Amino acid sequence: MKTMKRRLSSAEEFDIMKLVLDKFLWLGTFFIGWGLYSVMTSDFTAGMYRILVGVVVFIVFAGIVVREFEMIR
């Protein structure tokens, strides 16, 4: 038996997108904070790599946001 798939409204899609993108922001903030802590307490190089990972996560986040807003247009 074939099931009918219900399409999400734009408000529901936006709410789901907010939940997913919020996780990217928390992850990027975590890596930058962990990197700053590492730079100040122990290893400068490892801390800088962690900060770089956080920046990359933010860049990916920005790319996803731009792509989603271009799809809306």
Helix (H, G, I), strand (E, B) or coil at 9: coil
Domain borders along the chain are 14-72
Q: Enumerate residues 6+ apart whose C-beta is below 8 A from 22.
A: none
Report the pLDDT value the prediction gives residue 7, as an integer from 0 to 100: 84
Work out the number of other CB atoms within 10 angstroms of the CB of residue 31.
20
pLDDT for 22: 86
User: Which pLDDT belongs to residue 72?
Assistant: 65
pLDDT at 49: 96
Mean pLDDT split into 10-residue runs, the chain, 73 residues: 76 82 88 94 93 93 81 66
pLDDT at 6: 81
